[in-house]
Structure 1
Amino acid sequence: MAPDALVRLDKVSKIFPGGIVGLDAVDLDIAPGEFLTLLGPSGCGKTTSLRVIAGFENPSSGRVLLEGRDITGLRPFDRPVNTVFQDYALFPHMDVAENVGFGLSLRKLSGTEQAKRVGEALEMVGLADKLGARVLELSGGQRQRVALARAIVCEPRVLLLDEPLSALDAHLREQMQVELKRLQSSLGTTFVMVTHDQTEALSISDRIVVMNKGRIEQIAPPAILYDRPATKFVASFIGTMNLLQSRFVGRAGERLRFAAGKLPLEAVSETGETPAAGETRTIGVRPEDLLVVTEAAEGTAPARVSGIVFHGRTLRLHAELGQGTSIVIDAPRRADGFQFSVGDVAHISLRRGANCPVLAS
């Protein structure tokens, strides 16, 4: 266990009836005060991991540790952990203050102390003026804040969030992402969030755990995960990535030189390996790391445009490099520059200094 870990999953597995593997010997350390996000497609094990930490699921094997203490056998309400559910799970017959104070009512606190803590929690989430409001009178964003206030009022060591923003529209969702990060920073509480939304995970997490088929593919801060994905799955799941089968042609200092058809590439390998000449590897290339011009030049390769998607200040070009290789390029949309139409040939090259990873299977 890492010396500073608050929560640890120690080789946790979960097998559901029928032999369905939910988690496969997962090891995970969660640091005090961090915002950790479990990210992945449906069925990857992220929600099962959250439920195991909360105590709603018992692992088939392995342990859950809190500050080194085994809490695997503790019931959910005996753990210093609270959960904000996807549907908020508020009581419609109670007003806001009663909802927020429900957990406190089960503790031996005076009415004055309960009211004080409820007021402080609602102040933190910006709903101090909604103490007596009925839940059904609130907007979706306000209900989400009430659910957060109810979770933090009991001062949990760990706050678990199960896709807490999925019911909100896009604009409100972005606002609440900022609010969630602000709240977590001000409280200093460890937040563990589940989401399938990569943009959400990248925008507010300190670290992201990418999961696939019950296993962890990679754990890293957002920038490292985006710039240096470790596997093909992570590269394809985080953002848009061209996965190009490329032939090794030599070295340029610390960088490895490859060719994807006629397109010259330079890449970096986390393992430090140097392939033999002519060996192929999968190279990840972000669309924004490709430059496009109208005329052929040294270091460029022709690509025939097969589709164009408007992305505001950029045009996303879908093109064919030849031999059945598809590629996606983000090109600036400039009023004074060239434009493309389907069927045109663009000449593309790799942006100097681009960090293109050599990807593991």
Structure 2
Amino acid sequence: MATDPLLRLDGVSKVFDGGTIGLDNVTLDIAHGEFVSLLGPSGCGKTTSLRVMAGFESPTSGRVLLDGKDITDLRPYDRPLNTVFQDYALFPHMNVSENVGFGLSLRKLPAAEADKKVKEALELVGLSDKIRARVSMLSGGQRQRVALARALVCSPRVLLLDEPLSALDANLREQMQIELKRLQSRLGTTFIMVTHDQAEALSISDRIVVLSRGRIEQIASPSELYDAPTTRFVADFIGSMNVLDAEVLETTAEGVRVSAGPMIVDIPAECATAAPPRGASTLICIRPEELTVQTFPSEHTVAAQITSTVFYGPMLRLFVEISGGQKLMIDIGRRRSTETFDAGTTVYVRTIRGAGRVLGQA
């Protein structure tokens, strides 16, 4: 992977009519051959970022650079980037071949060369047998593949994907996630995808950019983002998380010991984004799978009352309340447990070794 970024947003801000801030001084480097997802809730700036990259929106300030060259003022069709839209934007009056070859026709390639490129693109997405089919006869997944082939046929430097799988049902969506990653790995093309789906971003991205209110909260690999959130927003947004008020009991080179109500948690030094002093108020986060429950008290456990239980197939999620009012989510393997965890039952909770993370001051 090259040292210099392929695509860079350099201090980009976007203020819409009426004063709404779409992006607030965003700087983002994307490397050659990366699969990057822009993730966040509605209105966070992810689609605005993509539209600025594509040239469909002009930034209020800042620059868009490709290979170090300023492309901020280039029109969309003058940029070596292609976009796959959420609704696919296929032409219903054209067949599959005509849809895929539309961009090539604007470049006025010789017919034989264009036909070859169209066939190669359709073979890449597994639709060689649909070359003459009408778009109206295709399934949702097939239409999505046609849109991908149309975007890839012109060999873009960067492929921009605006929630490309959101219209698909759950099973097909999962299949297409695998296909997207396979295609990107095979081609080595840089993919930048907008999504609001955490699981989608975590499953196929090399890096994830989490945005909130037009600003970048964190940029990290999926595993780092899940295991080491650096802000409360990311901790709350990525997966399920217990975020607890705590008091620092001791800070050493080995880590931080805190009390969250009656629960004592020893957090390793590498899991503390800050090293607050003894007596300070802080926030800690613990994943539901980092907590265990048992039906009898023992050392380092605290009593809790189950308030509700949710069934998630192979897993049960327990919602419990410990003394002092702290509420926790705890995930347990359903088939590993012979106990019945009904609402009102008293259980005893402990954290697994090395669990938790200090987020900073409350």
TM-score (ref. length: structure 2): 0.96
Instruction: Please tell me whether residue 293 in structure 1 is matched to residue 263 in structure 2.
Output: no
Instruction: Please tell me whether residue 65 in structure 1 is matched to residue 65 in structure 2.
Output: yes
CA distance in 2, matches of 1:57, 1:35: 22
Percent identity over the alignment is 61
Q: Deviations over 1:153-176 (max 9, x none)?
A: 000000000000000000000000
What residue is the counterpart of 2:276 in the other structure? Answer: 275
Q: CA deviation at 1:336?
A: 6.0
Q: CA deviation at 1:194?
A: 0.1
CA distance in 2, matches of 1:347, 1:224: 30
What residue is the counterpart of 1:27 in the other structure? Answer: 27
Q: CA deviation at 1:249?
A: 1.1
Distance 1:270 1:312, change over 3 A: closer
What residue is the counterpart of 1:131 in the other structure? Answer: 131
Report the 3-state secondary structure (helix = DSSP H, G, I; strand = E; otherwise coil) of the residue aligned with 1:275.
coil
Report the 3-state secondary structure (helix = DSSP H, G, I; strand = E; otherwise coil) of the residue aligned with 1:292.
strand
CA distance in 1, matches of 2:263, 2:58: 51
Q: CA deviation at 1:360?
A: 6.5
Q: Deviations over 1:220-261 (max 9, x none)?
A: 000000000000000000000000111111146522111111
What residue is the counterpart of 2:254 in the other structure? Answer: 254
CA distance in 2, matches of 1:337, 1:255: 35
CA distance in 2, matches of 1:274, 1:66: 40
Q: Deviations over 1:17-59 (max 9, x none)?
A: 1110000000000000000000000000000000000000000
- On the 8 A contact 2:35/2:205 being kept in 1, the answer is yes
CA distance in 2, matches of 1:3, 1:63: 20
Which residue identity is paired with 2:315? T
CA distance in 1, matches of 2:307, 2:52: 47
CA distance in 2, matches of 1:336, 1:284: 25
Which residue identity is paired with 1:164? P
What residue is the counterpart of 2:17 in the other structure? Answer: 17
Q: CA deviation at 1:355?
A: 4.7
Q: CA deviation at 1:3?
A: 4.0
CA distance in 1, matches of 2:80, 2:29: 17
What residue is the counterpart of 2:46 in the other structure? Answer: 46
Q: CA deviation at 1:270?
A: 6.0
What residue is the counterpart of 1:232 in the other structure? Answer: 232
Q: Deviations over 1:310-354 (max 9, x none)?
A: 111221001112333211000221376212100011111011122
Which residue identity is paired with 1:313? P
Instruction: Please tell me whether residue 6 in structure 1 is matched to residue 6 in structure 2.
Output: yes
Instruction: Please tell me whether residue 312 in structure 1 is matched to residue 313 in structure 2.
Output: yes
What residue is the counterpart of 2:86 in the other structure? Answer: 86
- Unaligned 5+ runs, structure 1: none
CA distance in 2, matches of 1:92, 1:246: 59
What residue is the counterpart of 1:104 in the other structure? Answer: 104
What residue is the counterpart of 2:154 in the other structure? Answer: 154
TM-score (ref. length: structure 1): 0.97
What residue is the counterpart of 2:333 in the other structure? Answer: 332
Q: CA deviation at 1:108?
A: 3.1
Q: CA deviation at 1:357?
A: 3.9
Report the 3-state secondary structure (helix = DSSP H, G, I; strand = E; otherwise coil) of the residue aligned with 2:211.
strand
Select between 117-126 and 347-356 the one with higher mean Cα deviation. 347-356
Distance 1:46 1:360, change over 3 A: farther
Report the 3-state secondary structure (helix = DSSP H, G, I; strand = E; otherwise coil) of the residue aligned with 1:334.
helix
Distance 1:335 1:140, change over 3 A: same
What residue is the counterpart of 1:180 in the other structure? Answer: 180
- On the 8 A contact 1:207/1:222 being kept in 2, the answer is yes
- On the 8 A contact 1:266/1:356 being kept in 2, the answer is no
Which residue identity is paired with 1:78? D
CA distance in 1, matches of 2:158, 2:263: 49
Q: CA deviation at 1:4?
A: 1.9
CA distance in 1, matches of 2:163, 2:113: 31
Aligned-residue CA RMSD in angstroms?
Answer: 1.5
What residue is the counterpart of 2:349 in the other structure? Answer: 348
- On the 8 A contact 1:269/1:358 being kept in 2, the answer is no
Q: Deviations over 1:44-88 (max 9, x none)?
A: 000000000000000000000000000000000000000000000
Which residue identity is paired with 2:313? G
- On the 8 A contact 1:228/1:355 being kept in 2, the answer is no
Which residue identity is paired with 1:304? Q
Length, aligned pairs only: 360
CA distance in 1, matches of 2:63, 2:335: 56
- On the 8 A contact 2:281/2:361 being kept in 1, the answer is no
- On the 8 A contact 2:306/2:344 being kept in 1, the answer is yes
CA distance in 2, matches of 1:36, 1:335: 37
- On the 8 A contact 1:35/1:191 being kept in 2, the answer is yes
- On the 8 A contact 2:271/2:356 being kept in 1, the answer is no
Select between 87-96 and 293-302 the one with higher mean Cα deviation. 293-302
